[in-house]
């Protein structure tokens, strides 16, 4: 069934289409009748020229013979009109302004073939052609010709058909557009019904469009894509909420315990200093977590894209690698730097710097004490390939698909400080740069490959 809005729209569309169709049919009808009258007018003019030529070449007698007026009849006004209706033509000949033969009538005349409407008392109005032939300075004749019967009947039939067409066509158009509206509304009604089911199970239910129309299929695909994105964002929010609660619960509890201990040890300056230092460390961890969340949100918003520019990625990698080299060496690890010079990159220099620092800090935090760590940069056809890796202990296969999730920490890292946002920030920076981030499989340690598009 159609709703009220659809019924109103159907009536509006039907009425507008009906008016347009009426105008088109009326225009075609009038055009057809106009062409018929034009053709008759041309034939009438040719006939008048032929009569004029006979008069000039053969004289008045031959002209009267051609017109079948050798008996020189005279008709009154009523007789003339009757003759015009029955015979279809009429003539009135004059000499020195005096009627010599034909119609003694007051019908309109014209010097050139002209149409006029003749109204009769008992009959319907008729269309009549008239013209005047001047044979010489003394003699002239008026000619009249009724519209051909076939043309008149065509006009009458056309307008009677139009009179019947007006109500029938409007009703037909209403039914037609109601059918089309109902047919076209079925997919959207089906989608509305399925969306109710999606509301009950947003994580699993999706739209299925049972039509071959590519537009409806594209709409269904767009809705499903939107639902997937909403579910993804919702899951991220749940993960983030749980992560924040989990990550902040322990340090906040420790701060609370430290405050209680400070109250108990208020007289012991050394113990009080120790409690303050530990509480400060826990609060610093909390602030770092919030700062990382703010940083991550700013990256994911994409506002940094406006500040993208071309810069020398080789110089940036070399600069950061050299600054970390002493740190790795002091920790007993080997650090290899392999950078192809003059590799250009289009992006935000500060974000790429953040990406490098997070991956290097990750290697510094989780690699074995005697591990080998490397950073490599080389140029491909349309991208710069950056690799940062180490030779152990790596990330278990069961955790690899989750390492970029917010607040996710593998079992091996739970005993170490951190908040599980470092690799999430790396992933967000790669996404905003349209860079491909990959944690390589079948490696002894954790090896990250990043392909950054080149300008």
Question: Is a pLDDT exceeding 50 seen at residue 47?
Answer: yes
Burial class (CB in 10 A: 0-12, 13-18, 19+), 446: buried
Question: Is a pLDDT exceeding 90 seen at residue 338?
Answer: yes
Residue from 444, 445, 448 nearest 422 by CA:
448
Mean pLDDT score, 118-141 = 85
DSSP letter assigned to residue 140: E
Question: Is a pLDDT exceeding 70 seen at residue 451?
Answer: yes
Res 247: pLDDT: 60
Strand order of the β-sheet with 139-146 is: 74-75, 98-103, 89-95, 139-146, 126-134, 114-118
Mean pLDDT score, 375-392 = 88
Q: What φ, ψ does residue 140 adopt, rounded to 5°?
A: -155, 165
- Please state, in angstroms and rounded to a whole number, the distance separating the CA atoms of residues 280 and 278: 5
- Please state, in angstroms and rounded to a whole number, the distance separating the CA atoms of residues 321 and 314: 10
Res 408: pLDDT: 67
Structure confidence at residue 254 as a pLDDT band (50, 70, 90): confident
Q: What φ, ψ does residue 224 adopt, rounded to 5°?
A: -65, -40
- Which residue has better confidence, 217 or 309? 309
- Please state, in angstroms and rounded to a whole number, the distance separating the CA atoms of residues 423 and 139: 113
pTM above 0.75, yes or no: no
What domains are there in the chain, each with its CATH number? 4-156 (3.30.450), 214-300 (1.10.287.130), 306-453 (3.30.565.10)
Q: Which of 196-220 are b and which e, b meaning 16 or more Cβ less than 10 Å from the residue's Cβ?
A: eebeeeeeeebbebeeeeeebeebb
Res 377: pLDDT: 92
Q: What φ, ψ does residue 103 adopt, rounded to 5°?
A: -85, 125
- Please state, in angstroms and rounded to a whole number, the distance separating the CA atoms of residues 288 and 278: 15
Mean pLDDT score, 63-77 = 86
- Which residue has better confidence, 13 or 110? 110
Alpha-helical runs (H) found in 301-439: 313-330, 349-366, 397-400, 422-432
Helices 422-432 + 349-366 axis angle, to 10: 150
Q: Which of 237-264 are b and which e, b meaning 16 or more Cβ less than 10 Å from the residue's Cβ?
A: eebbeebbeebbeebeebbeebeebbee
Res 1: pLDDT: 58
- The tens digit of pLDDT for each residue in 144-203 reads 998 887 776 676 676 677 677 777 777 777 777 777 777 766 777 777 777 777 777 777
- The tens digit of pLDDT for each residue in 310-334 reads 999 999 999 999 998 998 888 888 9
448 and 439 Cβ atoms separated by less than 8 Å: yes
Residue from 305, 306, 301, 296 nearest 406 by CA:
296
- What 228-237 contacts at long range (C-beta under 8 Å, 24+ apart), as own/partner pairs, is 230/202, 231/202, 231/203, 234/202, 236/406
Burial class (CB in 10 A: 0-12, 13-18, 19+), 359: buried
Question: Is a pLDDT exceeding 50 seen at residue 223?
Answer: yes
């Amino acid at each position: 069934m159609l709703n009220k809005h659809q019924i109103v729209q159907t009536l509006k569309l039907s009425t507008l289409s009906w008016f347009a169709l009426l105008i088109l049919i009326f225009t075609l009808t009038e055009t057809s009748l106009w062409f018929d009258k034009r053709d008759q007018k041309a034939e009438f003019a040719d006939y008048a020229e032929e009569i004029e030529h006979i008069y000039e070449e053969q004289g008045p007698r031959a002209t009267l013979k051609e017109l079948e007026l050798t008996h020189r009849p005279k008709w009154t006004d009523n007789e003339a009109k009757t003759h015009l209706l029955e015979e279809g033509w009429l003539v009135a000949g004059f000499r020195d302004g005096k009627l010599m033969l034909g119609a003694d009538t007051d019908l309109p005349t014209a010097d050139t073939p002209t149409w006029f409407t003749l109204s009769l008392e008992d009959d319907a109005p008729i269309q009549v052609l008239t013209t005047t032939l001047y044979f010489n300075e003394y003699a002239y004749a008026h000619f009249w010709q009724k519209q051909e019967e076939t043309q008149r009947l065509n006009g009458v039939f056309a307008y009677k058909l139009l009179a019947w067409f007006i109500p029938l066509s409007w009703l037909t158009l209403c039914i037609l557009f109601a059918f089309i509206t109902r047919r076209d509304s079925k997919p959207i009604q089906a989608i509305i019904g399925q969306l109710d089911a999606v509301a009950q199970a947003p994580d699993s239910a999706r739209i299925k469009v049972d039509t071959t129309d590519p537009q409806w299929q594209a709409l269904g695909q767009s809705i499903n894509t939107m639902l997937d994105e909403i579910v993804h964002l919702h899951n991220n929010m749940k993960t983030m909420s749980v992560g924040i609660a989990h990550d902040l619960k322990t340090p906040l509890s420790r701060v609370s315990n430290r405050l209680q201990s400070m109250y108990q040890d208020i007289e012991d300056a050394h113990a009080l200093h120790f409690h303050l230092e530990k509480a400060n460390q826990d609060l610093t961890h909390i602030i770092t977590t919030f700062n990382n969340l703010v940083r991550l949100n700013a990256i994911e918003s994409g506002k940094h894209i406006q500040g993208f520019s071309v810069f020398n990625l080789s110089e940036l990698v070399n600069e950061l690698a050299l600054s970390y080299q002493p740190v790795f060496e002091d920790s007993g690890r080997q650090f290899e730097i392999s950078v192809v010079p003059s590799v250009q990159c289009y992006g935000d220099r500060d974000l790429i710097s953040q990406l490098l620092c997070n991956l290097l800090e990750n290697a510094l935090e989780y690699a074995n004490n005697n591990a080998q760590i490397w950073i490599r940069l080389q140029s491909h056809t349309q991208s710069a390939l950056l690799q940062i890796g180490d030779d152990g202990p790596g990330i278990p296969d069961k955790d690899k698909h989750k390492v970029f999730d917010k607040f996710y920490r593998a079992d091996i890292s739970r005993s170490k400080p951190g908040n599980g946002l470092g690799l999430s920030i790396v992933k967000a920076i790669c996404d905003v740069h349209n860079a491909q981030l990959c944690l390589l499989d079948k490696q002894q340690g954790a090896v990250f490959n990043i392909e950054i598009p080149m300008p």
